[in-house]
Each structure stands twice: as structure tokens, then as C-alpha cells.
Structure 1
Amino acid sequence: MQLQELIKNYSIKEIYHPNKTDVSIDFKISGLNYHSQKVSSNELFFCIKGVKFDGHNFAMDAYEKGAIALVVEKRLPNVPIAQIVVADTRLALSYLSSIFYSKPSKDLTMIGITSTNGKTTTSYMIDNILSSNHLTGLIGTVVVKTGDELEEAGLTTPESLDLQKYLYKMKLKNLPYCTMEVSSSGLELERVSAVDYDVAIINNIARDHIDLHGSFEKYFRAKKRLVEELTSNKIAILNVDCENTRKLINYTNARVITYSVKGNDAMVQVDDLDLSSGRGNFTINIKEALPTVLDKKVQQQHIKIQLNVLGLHNVYNATSAAIAALALDKSSATIQRELLRFGGVERRFQLIYNQEFKIIDDHFANSGNIAVTLETLRHMEYNKLKLLYAIRGGRGITVNRENVETLIKWANKLDLKEIYVTSSVECVDEKDKVSKEELDLTIDLLEEAGLQVIYYDNLDNSVKSVLQNLTTGDVLLFAGCQGMDPAAKIALNHLYNNLSSKEKEHKGEEVLAPLKNRIAGM
């Protein structure tokens, strides 16, 4: 593509060249890049400002690698190539990437989810429904799927250039749908600014990533952009049980569909909820006609839903997924069938062992996630609850205080007297390392609340210790983010290794089955 053609409709400040007054940009570029070490000959290099690094400092490296021009926020007199000066290089990368790849999101039906908790599971549920008779696209925390191709994800929401490449690949494969997780960072850092969403879903907004955004107000501002930027022909699906999500009704021009599990006034109501087995059985009551993407109407009806995944939070996830599928003109029968078939996402209240006792693995990311997870346990039947908690390292005092205080609140309701705690020193990298302040705060708060703390700095030892204290009918919850990722592997291998030869032959494969396609901690 000609550089002049690429930028002709984009707002720029000036075109600059250190050695020329009359600067021509009527030349072909071979591609776009923002990584100076990966630049190829004749590419356009974007100087992106990050938290730790400023791409402007690597512009000369990009030039020496073969960059033919730069997109910058300031003149770089020492780099002897054409420079497109813009107000925001991140925003420019987003929009110019979309133009370079022929605006691929406009040729896909795009579904975006930006809840604090449940993005991954909801996206998988929706994709499960949509892929029942189509190859589909999926972008998120765990994998990027382009039809029949899978690759491990790097970021929850890829950098805008990488995102547009994925969408273009989906377009070339004629995939009808792309479901994607949209992180608050992705929104704030303009990664999705040029994506044309047809359906946006927000199940909840709780305190999280305060370390990244600086305050809850800034975090909320980032989240609301997903619905705020929708046009009037699009659809926003909002959970009105969440006070913060309910506020978003007033921030969007889209056609809004509200839903509630707890009896609040909404267009879609969950009735007859049964969580006694841990798995949700309920009725979706569509109380009034709902809009669809194709401007049809979903008429009033009752849809019986059975889930094979555990948790109250999955009732919310499944309800929003069902509404999204209805808005995409999928039948109630397809929705019922595919939600029942859905086997869950790793580390999202995942039942990894279900024999003489149960082991549930949950990423326990923030206070909202913790509350929903522990509220689900309150609905379940079991002998005793054991909980192994991995401190969330590298997130500071505020996040850890909120997490532990929520844990304490629910410990009282669940009659939990002791908590196993670990720093997972052998498992985490530098950014997730637990500081002395985070450790001291966690232990002090738990002990001040009257809970017995059994602490191990090592995850392996903590897992094996808690396993030794389980009895028939108990539930063990692995509760933690990066520091708990390898716990399932440690536990299941330990249980397998303690089987007799005959037991391994009889049930060994079943014990190790959850590790078969696992990514986290492997």
C-alpha cells in the first residue's frame, strides 16, 4: 500500500524529514510495525510510548533495520527518514492498522466482552454456541482461534496491529463471527478503537487493576468505552444486578438489553435457579421482545438452561451468552444444547477432581471474583471446606487488602476456621513476586480475623500439605492467580503417584484428564 493512501483520511500534525523541506510520502510500504527488533525492509514504524519504554528512543534501530518511515509524536532530527507527526501514536496505530488490513471487523459480526470477571468464560460460551454450525474466531486470555487454527494468547487484548492481523485472517477465511475479550487496558491503550463491535457485553465492573489505571474512576472510565462508543444500531447487554454496570444504561446510544439473576427489574429475568449440586439449573424468562443484530425481534419466551459448569457466576455468564446468541438469531434449542455441552475454561471455578473429595481451581483475581466464587460454595453441599490461597504478588497493598478482606467476610459465612496460604516462590516471575509488605499484610489481616493461617512459601509443599488433610466429602479450593497456576498439575500428579498399580489402571487416566489440554502452569 502507498503511505500517502494509508494516511490520507487520518488527522496528522505534519510530515517531517530532517534533511528535506519538500517531503514526499508517495511510496509503497511493505507493512506496519511497532517492535524495533522485528522491523523488516520498507515497513512503517510506529513509535509507541509504553510504561517502561518509549518507542521514540528506538526509532534509529528501526531505521537501521529497514524502516522506510516513522509515525511519531515529536520530530526526531537524528533519524533521516520521513516522519508522520500525530497527536497519539497508539491511536494512529489502531486506526491505520485497520485501514492497512481493509477494516476487517466490518466484515465480521463482532462480539466484545469487558466484564471485570467472566470475560473468558462468557466468550467461550458464546463461541461454543456460534461454532455449532460454523467455523468461528475467538480472541482472549487463553487462546486466539481463527477457524480451525489455535495459538496461545499473549495479551488478553492483543496490540492493535496484531489484533487487526487476526481479524484480517478471519476475514480471508470467511468466518462469520469473532468473539473477543476486551480488557480495560486494551480499551485505555486504544487497541480496539478501530474495531466495529455489533454486540457488547458487560456482566460486572468491580475494583481491579487499580495498580494499572491509578483509580477505580479511571478503570470505570476505560470499561464504559466499550458501550459508550457503540452506535445506535448496535446492541449492549448489561447485568443490572451490578450497580456499576447498571449505570452504563445512560452512557450508550446502543439498543440496551438488561438482565438480572437476583430479581431486579430487567428485560430478561433468571427464574427457578437451583445450585444445590453446584451446577446451575434455571429458566431464562424473556419478559419483553428483544432486538437482534439483523433488526428482528426475539419474542417473549421461557428457556430452560442446564449447565455442566459450577458456580453462580456461570449463571450470569451463561445468561449473557444466551442473550447474545439470541441477538444473533440463534435458536433457543441450539443455545440449550451448547450450554449443556460446555465444559468450562481452565482455572475458572474448574472442577479438576471429583472422587472421594472435590478439588476446584479458581483464579480468584479480585474482590468481586472472590465474592462470587465463595458465594457459589455457600450454595453447595459438602463436608468441610479447605482453601489454599496464593497471595497476589506485585499488585500492592490496596489490591491485596481488598482481596483478603473479602475472603475474611466470606470465611465467616462459610464457617472456615483455617486457611492455607502460599507465596508460590518457585512458580512466579519477578512481576508477580510477593513482597514482604504484601505477605505481612495478608497474614496479619487473616490472623486478626481469628483465622488459623498455615503458611508455606513454596506452592508444592502447600498443595501436598492440604491434600493430606482432606477427608471424604470435603471440597478443596485452589484460590489464586499466577501463583496458583501450577497447583492443578502438582495436585493431580501427586494423587496419581499415590495410586496403586491397580488403581492407576482403573482410574489413573481420569485423574490426569484435566491436565490433557491445560495451558496454565504447565
Structure 2
Amino acid sequence: MSALTLSLQELLEGIQNKSFTFSGITHNSRKVQDNFIFVALRGKKTDGHRYIEDAIKRGASLVVTEEPVQSFVPCVIVPNTRRILPKLSDVVYDKAAEKLFVIGITGSNGKTTIAHMLDSIYQHSAISSGLIGTVYNRIGNEIVPSSLTTPESCDLHRMFKQMIDCGSTVAVIEVSAQGFAMNRVDCVPFRVAIFTNITADHLDFHRSMKNYIATKYRFFETLPPFCWRIINIDDVHGRHLCSLNPAMSLTTSSKNPQADVFASNPFWTGERLRFNVLYSSRMRQLISASLPDVIELPIPGEHNVNNAVSVLAAALLTNIPGEIIVQGLRNYSTPARRMEFFERQGVQIVDDTAMNPGSIHSVLKTFDMNHCGKVIIVFAIRGNRSVEVNRQNGQVLAEWCEENQLRRSIHVVVTTSEEVVGENDKVSFAEKVAFLHELQLRNIPFVFRPFLQESIEYAWSQANDGDLMFLLGAQGMDLGRNIIEDIVCWQSKGLHRLSPL
């Protein structure tokens, strides 16, 4: 039996004029509650149309599909449900995004760091804000687990509504190229968009660098006219993006003093990264808040200087006083596995989710090899990210080792973390071969272990007081620190873990 079929326009108008009311909207039948709209999306692995009956049993009072279905509840048939989901989510959640000052951050590297730097500043200010990103989401004072860098639009707009209900006025969100391509940020009226950089990544989804770059460009081409673009012009792609809307573009740099916000004379004090800030006359005319002249960060790295000047520009656009920005950045707490440092038994350890050529290069070049013993690099190959990305990852690591092996003894341990990664992150044989082949081409010695546990145990057995160890990689290295902590705990008790046969 088929129930009433509505047009999309009738549904949208009915929700907006309150003729229809719904308690929520979702694409996941398991999340359906009473009086929800269920939108059937076609995915790579499954088809939401298969779960319409389940959604109705769970309480869906309307379904949106791409094909006629037998249904006891009203149905809306559209050509593309994915494109419709953000439009419906926006109106179901009372156009909450329009009531927020939304800051979007995109780029291959730096999104999470910038988001958390901004979050630190807002938490030091009188402005109530929310955070949506890779590590976690923050709604008011509640920390909510995150499964996607950029959530599906129904979840995104629901969180916007929750932020409004908590009294927030600013939302900081990470925008992945895949999230944009999948319409997740449609109907989000960004007030500020930050561009960091582009390096090879996500080629499993985009299929080529050309497509990946074009997707990043399209995000900026579709921004509303009132949106400020904060562009890192140290990246060649940033210089192109500035040309799309020069009047609404603010440039940042650690190399070009002509930028609107320029970081000069960065140096590491031994405890903090300090740099001076110079502003263009345009920036000084635009911003009424006090402009800080010196910034300090608790983490090193040239890439973090670039991250910080982007943060500085965005915070100033929300009228945060300079002294609050200085406090927020000085007291910034590094999110998990973003240039995290810890020391165990005299070994200095850097834990970072370096997972593409740009981030690997940025992390490794940050450290002075003249002030340590051996260098031990444990690298988890990234699964399901394409052969080409892994080839370039191996190339960057091999080139760095080649440049530095005369100055320091370098030990490389490579793993595919087979016992800890999920199905979506399994490393293919071709990806592994592509990565290892780059090391072999440059005669870089390495040890390969398929399991994360044994790769960390082997690396730790080679480490001595004064050595420097890197734990690098994405999901495959997430448990690396935990394994080291376990080893140290056992050793402190005079015990030795038995490796499986």
C-alpha cells in the first residue's frame, strides 16, 4: 500500500511554515526515532532504500527516496537524495546554521590543529562556540565522539541546532574535500573559510590529484559572497584561490611579508615557538580589535606558524581582543596525535598522525638531528588511500632518511598494523609494495613487521637513553603510544612480555 506522495517543494514549504513538524532527520535507519524523516542514500557499500521498512518500524513518519516504494507513510521521490538531505536537514533544524558565525577549515593538513587552536581561543574568551572535527565534536561543554572529519549533513545541522540551544554563537568545523564532494556542507552559510595547503591525499576517493585539487577549488567557488577567505599563500594553490575573490580574501604567510598577516622571525626558545606578527594596512583598517605583535605556541614547527597566523586572522574577524588570542594560543593543548611529545626512559617520542607527503615532511623537518642519539621511525602505512599516495609517502620518508643518514643513525620500522585497523583501513598488497619500494630504491634499510604490537616492541628494543623516536601514521598508529606505555609498565615491574609465536 502506498501512502501520500508529496513534492519536495511542498515538503520544504510545509516544514518552514510549520504545517509539518518533525523531530529529526537521518540517513541511518538505526538512528531513526519517532516522527523522523528518513532519507535513503545510495552508498558505496549499501543502499539506504533497503532499510526503508526498518526506518518506518523505528518511527519514521516520512521517507525520501529516489524510486517509488511501498510505504504506509508519506513519501517524497527526488532524483538525488544526497543533494536533498542538506536542504531538508537545514529546515528541519530551524536553519540553525544561519544563526551561527560558521568558520570552515579546509586543506590537506592543519585542519584539526587550526580548529583546536581556535577552540582554545574561544574558550578563553566571552564567546560561546562549538567544534566539529576529526578528533571529537564539542557542543557546549559536552564532548561528543567523532567518526567523520565532516559529518553527514543531517548530523551537522542537528549539531548546529544543539549549539544554538546551548547559547553558542560561533561554530568551527573541519571541511574535508570528500565531505564537500558528498554535499555534507551544502546549505552552510560560511562566514569565514580557511585554506591551509594541498598535498597528495584521498586519491582513493578523488582518483587523481587533478580531481582532488578541483574539489578544493570548488569549495571556494561556491562560498557565499559575504564569506571571508583566509588563504595561506605559501602554498601555490592558495595564490590561485586569492584570485577568485580578491576583495574578500585575506592572505597569511610565514615567507611573504606582503601578506595581510605575516609571521616573521620564528624561533624555538626550548619551550615555546615564538614569532612576531606584521599586518598589512588593509588588515589594520579592517580590524577594530587590538592586534597582537608577538605569538607564542607550546609546539614547534614551521607548519604550526602557518596554522597559527590563519587562526589569528580568523579570531580577529570575530572581534576577539589580541590579548585573548595570545592567551588562547599560549595555552593551547595539542589534540591527540597532533605533534604530541612524551618521554619514557630517556627516549624522546613524537606521536603524530602524519599520513600524507606534506605532513610527513613537516613533522620530520621540525627536529634538529644534532641533539639526539639514534633516530627511530615507526611508520604505519595508510590503507585504502591509493597506491600513489603511499608511493609518495614512502618517497618523502626515504628522501629525508637519505639526507640525514650521514649525520645520524636512522632506524626505520614499517608496519601495516594488521591486527588493529578496521576493514576500511586495511593496507592492500599494492599499497605496501609502493611504499616499501621507495625505501628500497634509495637503499634505506628498514624492518617490516605486519603487526603494530611487534613493530613497536622491536623499535623499543632498539631505543636507548637520548634517542628520538617518531610514531607516524594515521589509524594504524593510533594505539602506538598505548603499546609503549604497556611495555614501560611491564619493564618497570621487571617483567617481559612474551611475543606470540
Query: TM-score, normalization: structure 2?
Result: 0.89
Report 1:195-274 matches (<5 A). 195-252=188-245, 255-263=248-256, 265-274=258-267
Q: 1:273 to 1:337 in 2, by over 3 A?
A: same
- Whether 1:389 aligns to 2:379 is yes
Q: 1:5 to 1:170 in 2, by over 3 A?
A: farther
**Aligned residue type for 2:162:** K
Q: 1:396 to 1:27 in 2, by over 3 A?
A: closer
| Offset from partner CA, 1:46-102 (integer Å, 9 cap, x none) | 1112111222233343344443332223333x4454332223212211011111111
Q: How many angstroms apart in 1 are the aligned matches of 2:262 and 2:20?
A: 57
Question: Does the 8 Å CA contact 1:383/1:474 hold for their aligned counterparts?
Answer: yes
Q: 1:271 to 1:442 in 2, by over 3 A?
A: same
| Offset from partner CA, 1:292-350 (integer Å, 9 cap, x none) | 9xx75468x66111111132221111111111111111122111121111121111111
Q: 1:454 to 1:236 in 2, by over 3 A?
A: same
Report 1:470-509 matches (<5 A). 470-499=463-492
Question: Does the 8 Å CA contact 2:190/2:227 hold for their aligned counterparts?
Answer: yes
Q: How many angstroms apart in 1 are the aligned matches of 2:269 and 2:141?
A: 37
| Offset from partner CA, 1:263-310 (integer Å, 9 cap, x none) | 364122111111474842111111323289xx75468x6611111113
| Offset from partner CA, 1:369-397 (integer Å, 9 cap, x none) | 11111221258843332111111123232
Question: Does the 8 Å CA contact 2:230/2:250 hold for their aligned counterparts?
Answer: yes
- Equivalent in 70, 74, 82 of residue 82 of structure 1: 74
- Equivalent in 298, 314, 330 of residue 320 of structure 2: 330
Q: How many angstroms apart in 2 are the aligned matches of 1:107 and 1:11?
A: 20
**Aligned residue type for 2:226:** N
- Equivalent in 349, 354, 360 of residue 359 of structure 1: 349
Query: For 2:299, what is the secondary structure of its paired residue?
Result: strand
Q: Residue 398 of structure 2 corresponds to which residue in structure 1?
A: 408
- Equivalent in 24, 35, 53 of residue 31 of structure 1: 24
- Equivalent in 79, 89, 99 of residue 91 of structure 2: 99
Q: How many angstroms apart in 2 are the aligned matches of 1:11 and 1:89?
A: 18
Question: Does the 8 Å CA contact 2:192/2:228 hold for their aligned counterparts?
Answer: yes
Question: Does the 8 Å CA contact 1:276/1:381 hold for their aligned counterparts?
Answer: no
Q: Residue 121 of structure 2 corresponds to which residue in structure 1?
A: 129
- Equivalent in 416, 430, 434 of residue 427 of structure 2: 434
Q: Residue 398 of structure 1 corresponds to which residue in structure 2?
A: 388
Q: How many angstroms apart in 2 are the aligned matches of 1:49 and 1:311?
A: 42
Q: How many angstroms apart in 2 are the aligned matches of 1:243 and 1:379?
A: 29
- Whether 1:287 aligns to 2:280 is yes
Q: How many angstroms apart in 2 are the aligned matches of 1:201 and 1:262?
A: 18
Question: Does the 8 Å CA contact 1:277/1:380 hold for their aligned counterparts?
Answer: no
| Residue 30 of structure 1, CA deviation | 4.3
| Residue 430 of structure 1, CA deviation | 2.0
| Residue 205 of structure 1, CA deviation | 1.6
Question: Does the 8 Å CA contact 1:48/1:90 hold for their aligned counterparts?
Answer: yes
Report 1:109-188 matches (<5 A). 109-134=101-126, 135-188=128-181
Q: How many angstroms apart in 2 are the aligned matches of 1:90 and 1:411?
A: 45
Question: Does the 8 Å CA contact 2:402/2:442 hold for their aligned counterparts?
Answer: no
Question: Does the 8 Å CA contact 1:279/1:307 hold for their aligned counterparts?
Answer: yes
- Equivalent in 294, 304, 320 of residue 304 of structure 1: 294
| Residue 39 of structure 1, CA deviation | 3.0
**Aligned residue type for 1:106:** E
Question: Does the 8 Å CA contact 1:122/1:318 hold for their aligned counterparts?
Answer: yes
Moved more, 425-434 or 108-117: 425-434
Q: How many angstroms apart in 1 are the aligned matches of 2:435 and 2:155?
A: 38
Q: How many angstroms apart in 1 are the aligned matches of 2:370 and 2:323?
A: 28
**Aligned residue type for 1:223:** K
Moved more, 227-236 or 492-501: 492-501
- Equivalent in 41, 46, 51 of residue 44 of structure 2: 51
Q: Residue 364 of structure 2 corresponds to which residue in structure 1?
A: 374
Q: 1:80 to 1:389 in 2, by over 3 A?
A: same
Query: For 2:366, what is the secondary structure of its paired residue?
Result: helix
Query: For 1:377, what is the secondary structure of its paired residue?
Result: coil
Query: For 1:446, what is the secondary structure of its paired residue?
Result: helix
Question: Does the 8 Å CA contact 2:254/2:306 hold for their aligned counterparts?
Answer: yes
What RMSD, in angstroms, separates the aligned Cα atoms of the two structures?
2.7
How many residues are aligned here? 483
User: Which consecutive unaligned segments of at least 5 residues does structure 2 have?
Assistant: 495-501
Moved more, 274-283 or 145-154: 274-283
| Residue 151 of structure 1, CA deviation | 1.4
Identity, % of aligned pairs?
31
Q: Residue 516 of structure 1 corresponds to which residue in structure 2?
A: none
Q: How many angstroms apart in 2 are the aligned matches of 1:100 and 1:268?
A: 39
- Whether 1:319 aligns to 2:309 is yes
**Aligned residue type for 1:283:** N
| Offset from partner CA, 1:194-226 (integer Å, 9 cap, x none) | 112111111112111010122222222322344
Q: How many angstroms apart in 2 are the aligned matches of 1:9 and 1:83?
A: 10
Q: How many angstroms apart in 2 are the aligned matches of 1:32 and 1:357?
A: 50
**Aligned residue type for 1:149:** E
User: Which consecutive unaligned segments of at least 5 residues does structure 1 have?
Assistant: 13-24, 502-522
Q: How many angstroms apart in 2 are the aligned matches of 1:462 and 1:235?
A: 46
| Offset from partner CA, 1:410-433 (integer Å, 9 cap, x none) | 222232643111122221122222
Q: How many angstroms apart in 2 are the aligned matches of 1:63 and 1:254?
A: 49
Q: How many angstroms apart in 2 are the aligned matches of 1:352 and 1:8?
A: 58
Question: Does the 8 Å CA contact 1:360/1:476 hold for their aligned counterparts?
Answer: yes
